[in-house]
Amino acid sequence: MNVVETSGLGKRYGGTWALRDCAFAIPEGHLTALVGPNGAGKTTLLHILVGLTNATEGTATVLGGVSAGSRAALDGIAFVAQDTPVYTGLTAANMIRVARNLNRSFDTGYARARLGELGIPLGKKAARLSGGQRAQLALTLALARRPRLLILDEPLASLDPLARHDFMATVLTAMSEDEVSVLLSSHVLAELERVADYLVLLTTGRVRVADQVDDLLDRHRVLTGPAADADRQGQALDVVQDRRAEAQAHLLVRTASPNDPVPAGWESHPVGMEELVLAYLRAPGPALHALKSRTREVAR
């Protein structure tokens, strides 16, 4: 089952397209990193998936084909917006009561127990909690809805390293114990490289990469060889990024398979997720074709 699937998805604000022709699929059971520069359309995409805005064109479905934004979809999705918003004038206990009243399904016992484990006082107002505690409060309220898909929009940006680690530990526990799929938008590439096993990369409102991280890394490599031969090799290879010194060139290339031969006189090196993402972010958009994910049907 695909927890997210889009086809020809676009969103226009006036004369400006925030998203255009987005087509990708995310199978269930993954922690998917959604990455891209500011203005790439990440938040717009997430807002379409959770029903906060409507697409201008195309379609978006969630949880195995349910229309994004429908009641059936929203019952199975939890969303933590950017900056993990909570009502700062309310106590954690009051936030639980509000969330329980606003949702058709809410596990109050889980929420109270989870906050207790985290040492977050139920009687303390959110304004007096630390940034990490507020993030954990927002995440706990989201997980208490018992979602099948958890969508997180830049939850790590304002957290210190320890709070970031604790936040992601909670997310990974939910994935393991409750079989929650996660779509996480973030600029913190080092953290994403540690936890993500699926990648969707947006630039200028278009999908550039969408696939399992291991498959992407298998199909990319860095070739190091003489700069004088780089132009000739560039014509024969699918080059994502070309970096050159006076005598040596480093070409990050996309291959048809991990067993593609290495050109004579060149050396091949594996590529990491952060290096791969940065290469695509720096590459000119029109020069490359998007790597769209293969739609996978995975039995629950």
Q: Dmax of the chain from CA atoms?
A: 69
Q: What percent of the chain has pLDDT over 90?
A: 76
Q: What percent of the chain has pLDDT over 70?
A: 94
Residue 11 to residues 22, 25, 44, 45, 58, Cα–Cα distance (Å) = 10, 18, 8, 8, 9
Residue 70 to residues 23, 67, 81, 119, Cα–Cα distance (Å) = 20, 6, 19, 36
Residue 231 to residues 126, 222, 225, 226, 246, Cα–Cα distance (Å) = 58, 15, 11, 10, 14
**Position of tokens 């630390």?**
130
pLDDT, tens only, 236-253: 999 999 999 889 999 999
What pLDDT is stored for residue 187 in this prediction? 87
What pLDDT is stored for residue 157 in this prediction? 78
Is the pLDDT assigned to residue 270 strictly greater than 70?
Answer: yes
Answer whether 208's CB lies under 8 Å from 291's CB. Answer: yes
Residue 297 main-chain phi, psi, to 5 deg:
-100, 115
Say what the pTM is: 0.88
What pLDDT is stored for residue 296 in this prediction? 34
pLDDT band at 285 (very low <50, low <70, confident <90, very high): low
Structural domains present in the chain: 2-212 (3.40.50.300), 215-284 (3.30.70)
pLDDT band at 268 (very low <50, low <70, confident <90, very high): very high
Residues pairing with 300 in the sheet:
none
Amino acid found at 38: N
SS (H, E, C) 229-256: HHHHHHHHCEEEEEEECCCEEEEEEECC
Is the pLDDT assigned to residue 289 strictly greater than 70?
Answer: no
Please state, rounded to an integer, the average pLDDT across all residues of the chain.
90
